[in-house]
Amino acid sequence: METPDWIAEAERLGYRRAWCYDSPALYPDVWMILALAAERTTEIGLGPAVLVPSLRDPMVNAAAIASLAELAPGRVAAAIGAGFTGRMVLGRRPMKWAEVAAYVRVLRALLRGETADWEGSTVAMLHPSGYGAARPVDVPILIGADGPKGMAVAAELGDGVFSARRPQRADNAPAWRALLQFGTVLDEGEDPGSPRVAAAAGQGLATAYHAIYERKGAAAVDRLPGGRTWRHVTEAIPRQTRHMAIHEGHLIEMNERDRAAWDEARALVSTYTLTGTPAQLRERLAELEAAGMTEIAYQPAGPDIGRELRAFAKVAGLS
């Protein structure tokens, strides 16, 4: 609930954009938080990343985008994807990319002020003057892609690509390439496995275990340090509720299963997250830029968000 104030602090530190997650089972409502952030800021870009189409009718998101665009003119972008934790914490698999593409087409038509067909009905935004940004609502839409099918949708329908952890490569991808990263800047002489690093970056590493288990299965996660330990305590949870246990604390803090594996898993924290000394992180940022990334979406975590924002801003050379 303090996110709007931290977005204001990020603006003061020189960050260019603030993205907020769309996972209602875990976080405050994305549109409420972004609206509050709009009132506290004047320059920083704002948007959801990534919206999960199955959570809302396209008219609901179109109205929310138009409302935020009126509150923060020229500062809004939106990312849309097939869903990771936003669906998996509900016990559902990611959407089919054909369904995501159909949703984006309708959303774009609504924002242009056109009629569109959705679920057998013709729909259009009918908001009169003063009830949101005037149509057409010119808001860039990025596609949250993590594979070839998503990249194909981004090439067809997106103004950019929003990826997580690893850059996605495609010859025809839009030039706008945002990459979500987790981690922490190490203090001089700090052990990457220290309790502070566990609190600030452990959740980012744990998410890799969650994703590998969900997408590739037991054998894949067993090959990771601590993976077998993590799986055994995870699979002790009844299958009916296991999907909730896996994603408990997602990107906020390590859950009980994650902490059980930390002593072994922490060997990967500097590999799977953006964790290192200032010099190491500057080198990695340069490598990501060379790989075509135009924007790093850095997510701070742990008990001292201000420290994480300041440290990363210094490494990134923000002003």
Instruction: Compute the mean pLDDT over every residue in the chain, rounded to the nearest whole number.
Output: 95
- Would you say the C-alpha torsion 200, 314, 275, 29 has a positive or negative sign? positive
Closest CA to 149 of 104, 105, 97, 199: 97
Tell me the chain's radius of gyration from C-alpha atoms.
Answer: 20
CATH 3.40.50.2300 matches 3-174: no
| 229-244 confidence digits (pLDDT tens) | 999 999 999 999 999 9
| 11-45 confidence digits (pLDDT tens) | 999 999 999 999 999 999 999 999 999 999 999 99
pLDDT average, residue stretch 252-277: 95
Question: Is 171's pLDDT higher than 80?
Answer: no
Question: Is 2's pLDDT higher than 90?
Answer: yes
| 189-247 confidence digits (pLDDT tens) | 999 999 999 999 999 999 999 999 988 999 999 999 999 999 999 999 999 999 999 99
Q: What are the distances in angstroms from CA 195 to CA 186, 198, 199, 263, 308?
A: 12, 5, 6, 11, 15
The pLDDT > 90 percentage for the chain reads 90
| 56-103 confidence digits (pLDDT tens) | 999 999 999 999 999 999 999 999 999 877 788 888 888 899 999 999
Please state the separation of Cα 292 from the chain's center in Å: 19
The answer to whether 127 and 63 have CB atoms below 8 angstroms apart is yes
Residues 6+ apart with CB under 8 A from 76: 45, 46, 47, 65, 68, 69, 139
pLDDT average, residue stretch 302-319: 96
Per DSSP, the residues of 114-169 read --EEETTEEE---PPTTSSSPSS----EEEE--SHHHHHHHHHH-SEEEEESS---
- Residue ranges per structural domain of the chain: 3-174, 195-270
Higher-pLDDT residue of 175, 171 = 175
Question: Is 168's pLDDT higher than 80?
Answer: no
